[in-house]
Amino acid sequence: MLPYTCSKQYEIDKNKVILRVKRSPFFVRFSLYSITFLLFFLPISSVIYSIQNGGELKFLMIVMIGFFGLICFYMLRVSLWNTYGIEVLHFDKDKITYSADYGWFKDGTKDYEIKAPELEIKQIGYENDSKGVLLIFDSKNYIETVTQIPIKELESLILEIQHIIK
């Protein structure tokens, strides 16, 4: 059975809700991927160039490669999120499972024990944008999604999630 598609930004399949990040403009994605490539390529090429010209591989070079590697990994995550980002909410009886999918890899799955979930919209950005994120909470735990969705779509999503929860 194919999932029921309500809009371009979310899908509902039985007790699973999939929120899709709207792709960033091409120029933004191109810039992010270019910076990521440079953060990967420049430190390695400078070490290779230094060794070819008679230099030694020093501890500081290895530290700098590691430092730039961490920044590169973070930038890769941001780039992939802005291209392929998906949030998955899986509703069970007394728990909600949340995971983020970056396209090439997934973030850790988190389980939240939420007995009687309440749903709310948190407005993000300017009022004129009329976008928000979904809040799911009870007295102990809360989940705040990061996918920005138009408020009207969030209102219909909340109604559909309430049918899943019952």
Cα–Cα distance for residue pair 116/97, rounded to 1 Å: 15
pLDDT tens by residue, the chain, 166 residues: 444 444 468 888 888 989 998 888 999 999 999 999 999 999 989 888 988 888 888 888 889 999 999 999 999 999 999 999 999 999 888 888 999 998 888 888 888 888 888 889 889 888 778 889 989 888 888 889 988 889 898 888 888 888 887 7
Rounded-to-integer distance, Cα 74 and Cα 6, Å: 32
Helix (H, G, I), strand (E, B) or coil at 109: coil
121 residue type, one letter? I
What DSSP assignment string belongs to 141-156?
-EEE----EEHHHHHH
CATH number for the region 4-21+85-165 comes to 2.30.29
Total residues belonging to the chain: 166
Q: Please give the structure tokens belonging to residue 93.
A: 């009886």
Q: What pLDDT score does 37 carry?
A: 94
The candidate with the shortest Cα–Cα distance to 153, out of 139, 128, 134, is 134
Predicted pLDDT of residue 26: 93
Distances (CA, A) of 121 to 61, 71, 137, 149: 48, 33, 11, 10
Q: pLDDT value at position 6?
A: 47
- Residue-level pLDDT at 106: 86
